[in-house]
Amino acid sequence: MEIEILSTGRVIERLIVVAFAGISIILGYKLFLKGVITPQSGSFKFSEVSVDLTKVGPGIFFSLFGTIILYSAHSHNLTYAPHKSGETIENPIISYFSSNNLEYVKALSTSIEVLSEHIEQNTPSQDKQRMIASRDELTAARKQLMLSNFNEHYERYLADFDNSVINPNNFSEQTHLTFQKIEKLMNPR
């Protein structure tokens, strides 16, 4: 039932994005054809790539804006990973993050560590409360990403990682490798 609602909502969202981006592109093209004002210029820089537009009308920028909206809206997939506990499905994981993008987890883990260090220092209580709330939000986001990538392996890691270090013979080689991969993500520094 949830997957049907999720799928329908995603289809509606995609149609709305495509409609608005398409309208922006079409109106930009019409504005370009009209040549409302004198030609303009602009430049855009994306990391190492630089784009310079010269002697173009405002319609080009309008169309470019629509194209960027369309691309950015479709660059992230929606993933649905049911979290299985025994035979029942509990708390399905719904995420806009790509299931193979674990760089977010490293960034969240580093942020959580930095916040934890600052919380331990002598900070005013109001700031400390905000930091604790921020750390809790980041921890919840990290947990969602970890569950969407590792499912039950992440929960097993939380429960058994210390035991796997103390008694390594009780766990398979594959489990050790998975735990090491999760550990690197949880403690990147």
Per-residue pLDDT of the chain (189 residues; tens, 9 = 90+): 566 777 788 788 888 888 888 888 888 888 777 766 676 777 777 777 887 877 777 777 777 777 877 777 777 666 555 555 454 445 555 555 554 567 778 888 888 888 888 788 766 777 788 888 888 888 888 888 888 777 777 888 888 877 777 777 888 888 878 888 888 888 876
Domain ranges of the chain: 2-74, 99-186
- Tell me the torsion sign for CA atoms 147, 145, 95, 136: positive
Q: Dig out the tokens for 104 from the structure.
A: 């977010």
Beta carbons within 10 angstroms of residue 112's beta carbon = 20
Beta carbons within 10 angstroms of residue 12's beta carbon = 10
Q: Tell me the pTM.
A: 0.47
